[in-house]
């Protein structure tokens, strides 16, 4: 049997997916993208998991699509097998909150995989780039859309057309990532953030995530309308009542995820 290309574990309510193809700097081949999608399916169905963290090694989050695997493909191959759409996008459609913990190279599809997560925590040594035009392709896992929405057109064009590499500090200043932490502490920070999310009410966190993501997909009036509807929906939950009662009674809330 082929050895798995990822490692998974659950810790403090957090499902952790570690990309594990060190020989190829976690380049994303068909097997690893399928296994990531399967791990997301498993964690979404697991009541013990309230949030998901995706990480790589200290040297590389992921060095992009596996160029050696795709270099001989034809249009008919990639069109027929729904290359990228089939497995990669599963992470983007996760309903539970997701965090990318990035160290080292987040290149091409690796950067795009991080961008599929709800937020990104990076070590100082993290480097972000979309250099696909350097090898005769273009970003194809959402990069032209998600990067542009995250950092704006001017910087997205700079990165995509010239292959410019952003340092972690530059990525944070541009709004691509949420936090920069000392080398070696990115995973612990991301897991701590995810554990905080996992301790909150699951349905409330999912509603909040859905509302924020809508800001990327629709116009302002429509987004505000959805936000208001989702806020009203929180009033149908026991956890909303518990959260507000706990505040009034000066005690910690006991969320029951309902
Ligand atoms: N695919 C396959 N193998 C890779 C990849 C990759 N993307 N990246 C690194 N590797 C392999 C190397 O070939 C090398 O293997 P070997 O030891 O057998 O020669 C091993 O990983 C280590 O890599 P390096 O020796 O190159 O390590 P360095 O530290 O010197 O350099 C870099 C690190 C800068 C990250 C360098 O490896 C690099 O530039 N990699 C390629 C990055 C890249 O261009 N990524 C974008 C890929 S395209 C993409 O993601 C979206 C494509 C959508 C197109 C759709 C088309 C249908």
Q: Which atom of ligand 1 is nearest to the CA of 24?
A: 21
Question: Has 81 been annotated as catalytic?
Answer: no
Q: Ligand 1 pocket test: which of 107, 126, 132, 164 has the largest number of ligand atoms within 8 Å of its C-beta?
A: 107
Q: Which atom of ligand 1 is nearest to the CA of 137?
A: 54
Q: How far is the CA of 27 from the centre of ligand 1 (A)?
A: 7
- Name the token pair of 245: 């009662």
- Residue 129's DSSP bridge partners are 107
CB-based contact 142:210 (threshold 8 Å): no
Contacts of residue 119, Cβ cutoff 8 Å, sequence gap at least 6: 99, 100, 177, 178, 193
**Residue 251, SS3 per DSSP:** coil
Cα 82-89-166 angle, rounded to 5 deg: 115
The pLDDT tens digits along the chain (258 residues) read 577 999 999 999 999 999 999 999 999 999 999 999 999 999 999 999 999 999 999 999 999 999 999 999 999 999 998 888 888 899 999 999 999 999 999 999 999 999 999 999 999 999 999 999 999 999 999 999 999 999 999 999 999 999 999 999 999 999 999 999 999 999 999 999 999 999 999 999 999 999 999 998 899 999 999 999 999 999 999 999 999 999 999 999 999 999
How far apart, in whole angstroms, are the C-alpha atoms of residue 219 and residue 130?
27
- Residue 107's DSSP bridge partners are 129
pTM: 0.96
Q: What is the ipTM, given to two decimal places?
A: 0.95
CB-based contact 56:22 (threshold 8 Å): no
- Max CA-CA distance within the chain? 65
């Amino acid at each position: 049997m082929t050895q798995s290309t990822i490692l998974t574990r659950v810790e403090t309510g957090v499902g952790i997916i570690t990309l594990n193809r060190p020989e190829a700097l976690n380049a994303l081949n068909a097997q690893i993208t399928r296994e990531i999608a399967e791990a997301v399916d498993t964690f979404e169905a697991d009541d013990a998991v309230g949030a998901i963290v995706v990480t790589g090694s200290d040297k590389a989050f992921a060095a992009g699509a596996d160029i050696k695997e795709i270099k001989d493909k034809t249009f008919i191959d990639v069109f027929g097998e729904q290359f990228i759409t089939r497995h990669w996008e599963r992470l983007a459609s996760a309903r539970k909150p997701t965090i990318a913990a990035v160290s080292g190279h987040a290149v091409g599809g690796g950067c795009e995989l991080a961008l599929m997560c709800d937020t990104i925590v990076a070590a100082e040594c993290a480097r972000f780039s979309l250099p696909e035009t350097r090898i005769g392709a273009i970003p194809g896992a959402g990069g032209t859309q998600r990067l542009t929405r995250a950092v704006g057109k001017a910087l997205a064009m700079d990165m995509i057309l010239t292959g410019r590499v952003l340092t972690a500090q530059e990525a944070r200043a541009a709004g691509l990532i949420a936090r920069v932490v000392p080398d070696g502490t990115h995973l612990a920070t991301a897991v701590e953030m995810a554990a905080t999310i996992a301790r909150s009410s699951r349905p409330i966190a999912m509603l909040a995530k859905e509302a924020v993501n809508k800001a990327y997909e629709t116009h302002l009036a429509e987004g505000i309308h959805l936000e208001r509807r989702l806020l009203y929906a929180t009033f149908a939950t026991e956890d909303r009542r518990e959260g507000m009662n706990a505040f009034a009674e000066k005690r910690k809330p006991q969320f029951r995820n309902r």
